[in-house]
Amino acid sequence: MQFLLVFLGGGLGSCCRYLISKIINEQIETIFPWGTLTVNLIGCLIIGIIIGLIEKFPIHPYWILFLVTGFCGGFTTFSSFSLENNLLLRDQKHTLLLVYTMFSLLWGFAATFLGLILIKRF
């Protein structure tokens, strides 16, 4: 049952990631990976909200597997982030590499923190 929950959550998260990245990348023509950055920041916010809710309202561990391990694990894209950084490095786009990495890390931490704070305040 646990594997099924992770599988289903991961599949749903992956489909959402694909859809959001596709929409963003079709709207913005640039070499900067806006789709992946957006998905990762949204994922950080979502995981912060989920963990904040779990701390406030304990839920069945199966929901944690489905939402955190499955959905958020499938939704966020660290492997894509790593590949895109390597491609920017290969193409000698050092400024974009630095901006993308710093935005992803700093704003990712901030989005997770915001998600946790939002839940604690309500």
The total of other beta-carbon atoms located within 10 Å of residue 80's CB is 16
**What is the model's pLDDT at position 122?**
83
pTM: 0.84
Q: Where do we find the tokens 């597997």? A: 65
Q: Return the domain boundaries, the chain.
A: 2-121
Closest CA to 88 of 104, 73, 106: 104
Instruction: Render pLDDT for 58-107 as a digit per residue (tens, 0 to 9).
Output: 899 999 999 999 999 999 988 789 989 999 999 999 999 999 999 999 99
**Share of residues in the chain with pLDDT > 70 (%):** 100
Is the distance from CB of 9 to CB of 74 less than 8 angstroms?
yes
